[in-house]
Structure 1
């Protein structure tokens, strides 16, 4: 990491279209007011989410035992790393009929109100929730509302709740999902039963919300009703596995930034350019409410098992892409084992333990997770600072941006190329004293920078 004095700096802000987006926001508010039947469902984000990150827990692969109790031993380490929200993949019993593999898919649920014996007992889960809360962390459960296992009792007791083909046979929602049967949400009794099951875990175990599987395949109106019902018990946090703007009106706090994830992958392969990041950010400003949380990530259980682990997909770019997810607008996700440089594609239907080891990225996650917690510029939604792009002398390779909020600033300078790049920041000025997060160097107003392939700098106020 080398830099010399000299530069003029030019600030190009994503907020130049502010008045245009304010107009869009106003139109959005009009739409909300028109939906008078659901006005009581409008909710502010739960307070503790404003500067949170999220960590996905794969219980089966996390420890040799693969249990809730064994995972609990990792809580102090995760707390020290700076993790806030734990998202547990489904913990319910897994169907045996049409099961895939030996242990089956987490997402083939045969009882919505029970714990998979593979992972432990209901009491074990309650103890885990208490330990999480005692550490001032939060915990949400993965919820599969779109389909059930083929041996769920509802198949026999309420076949009218399921999708059927032209001959009246119950079918899977997607051809390849042969281990599950799809629901039809035209049935109001199904909706009531599913909301009752969602309420059960909040009331009985005091969880803090849900990550909702394939949320876009379930009617938005159902999610609005479900969130409204849950809010009567406690202020929950809701994550949608979808990228549907209307989900943010009444139902969900956060949605997947799938498109940005794919762009980051394709920058590494040369199929996308840094201009695609700009275009996507501008499109999101147009389509999503300003207070919407978008979830940024380089991996999750689907990507790891089916597309390849982040080390394999991103190679030497894995750190710089992680820095983007941790400092750009949105909430960062870390998948189990990423902090240990997980370099294998975990089996989905079999036991396949994560190999825990120290690696360079552990420090990266620790420093930036704590920075996000402490520096308001990196907070989520409207709680944080807007991304303002910094134009450089080599925008084809360098992606630089600033975020400012309430007297705090973070400046990220990322070499998203496989070449060493010498460059300047064009006419960029700051009134703040900034220090590089990893080496402590003070930011100089007229620096000339040289970054190695995939290298990065993150400057922040103290």
Structure 2
């Protein structure tokens, strides 16, 4: 063996081994709550919204679970999407399998992609697997079925992933929907409750069929290696809420990214959000959580590294928690939040600096003389650049910068004003405000 061959073993290798589907390079994602979306609460009724969502700038449609819901120990009248009674069937509340396939086809015709929420960790109490394959479930000290320990999930019971037959069944079911309905991937519910090597195998099998996109409801680094394209940016959301509550400021936001961008693999994609079904259902509305900083948070979640999420109704100014176990229809109307997302998604699609993973530019901090109030950063890829300045305070601020990456000629995106940023530039940013300079 030559000396250079010995050294090869010590050369750094890419941590993320999977390949993101090409169509995800500048994608946005939208979470669909079918039950609450329309008076009918069906696939066909939701399909009428597809052109509007395409115009909004949505690329990936994540549908909350569409399988039949268990009746035994059901919570509320309608029950939880996440209490699955049959992994290879459609909830008749929403429509038929053919109607679901038609929805997927219509989304594809508009250039959008569809991923399904998948509940692999647990099932409903009355799933037939409990009778035919009871050994696939964990048992309590009395030998009885049990919910996931320590949680109040009384309408579901926990699977045992030490059982290889369960792993095969669940993998085959995931394959089924990709082959049968031509879906484009999955969002994995509580992905970290399940061994990572299960998900590694699933991704390998699905990619044999077509390039898929996988989102984990978790934030573990190792999930990115072979299984998942994207995980949740939970800590970013909580940091933004802390700012609104007075428990943080711009320096707290800076500290978040200093940690997150050092800890995560370069080609890992984080899902950025100010709302999702968990936060909306079990906490407060996005307006209550983020207050007057909501728009600043939206600007940050779209322009920072990661893929931005919209939850059903955000674009219409959803200002209340939606009931989780009952019918609770969204009221649709034009709203400034939707206008803001549409503007930002248009920029994300065309400016390579804002693209996802290694297709986009890394966030480069731009230190400033007002770091308790102002968070500023730049991203650059090829000839494209953005310089973002956000005021995380309740007062107008003046700020200057101590870097060089931000220097140059720009157009401020929201005012459409030509701007030159030079070494002695001082910017004024209104309370709760932001400026996005685009090159």
Task: Give the alignment's TM-score, normalised by structure 2.
Answer: 0.94
Counterpart in 2 of 1:106?
81
Counterpart in 1 of 2:4?
none
Quick one: distance in 2 between partners of 1:165 and 1:310?
A: 38
Is the counterpart of residue 407 in structure 1 residue 383 in structure 2? yes
Shift of 1:432: 4.4
Quick one: distance in 2 between partners of 1:27 and 1:336?
A: 45
Quick one: distance in 2 between partners of 1:311 and 1:273?
A: 18
Counterpart in 1 of 2:133?
158
Aligned pairs for 1:22-421 (under 5 A) are 29=13, 42-174=17-149, 175-421=151-397
Quick one: distance in 1 between partners of 2:15 and 2:347?
A: 37
Return closer, same or farther for 1:247/1:410 CA change in 2, 3 Å cut-off.
same
Quick one: distance in 2 between partners of 1:429 and 1:184?
A: 51
Quick one: distance in 2 between partners of 1:183 and 1:236?
A: 25
CA contact (8 A) 2:88 2:176 kept: yes
Deviation >4 Å, runs of 4+? 427-432
Unaligned runs of 5+ in 2: 1-9
Quick one: distance in 2 between partners of 1:331 and 1:428?
A: 27
The count of corresponding residues between Structure 1 and Structure 2 is 427
CA contact (8 A) 1:140 1:210 kept: yes
CA contact (8 A) 2:274 2:297 kept: yes
Shift of 1:289: 1.4
| Secondary structure at 1:332 match in 2 | strand
CA contact (8 A) 1:268 1:417 kept: no
Shift of 1:55: 0.5
Shift of 1:430: 4.5
Shift of 1:423: 2.0
- 1:203-262 C-alpha deviation (Å, 9 max, x unpaired): 000000000000000000100011111111111000000000000110100000111111
Of 262-271 and 126-135, more deviation after overlay is shown by 262-271
| Secondary structure at 2:255 match in 1 | helix
Task: Give the alignment's TM-score, normalised by structure 1.
Answer: 0.90
- 1:295-335 C-alpha deviation (Å, 9 max, x unpaired): 11001000001011101211211111000000001111111
Quick one: distance in 2 between partners of 1:427 and 1:290?
A: 23
Unaligned runs of 5+ in 1: 1-25, 33-41
Shift of 1:178: 0.1
Quick one: distance in 1 between partners of 2:260 and 2:366?
A: 19
Shift of 1:431: 5.8
Quick one: distance in 2 between partners of 1:424 and 1:382?
A: 30
Shift of 1:356: 1.1
Aligned pairs for 1:415-434 (under 5 A) are 415-428=391-404, 430=406, 432-434=408-410
CA contact (8 A) 1:238 1:251 kept: yes
Shift of 1:427: 4.9
Quick one: distance in 2 between partners of 1:432 and 1:361?
A: 30
CA contact (8 A) 1:409 1:432 kept: no
Quick one: distance in 1 between partners of 2:169 and 2:91?
A: 20
- 1:59-97 C-alpha deviation (Å, 9 max, x unpaired): 111111111111111110111111110000000000000
Return closer, same or farther for 1:335/1:149 CA change in 2, 3 Å cut-off.
same
Counterpart in 1 of 2:427?
449
Shift of 1:448: 2.5
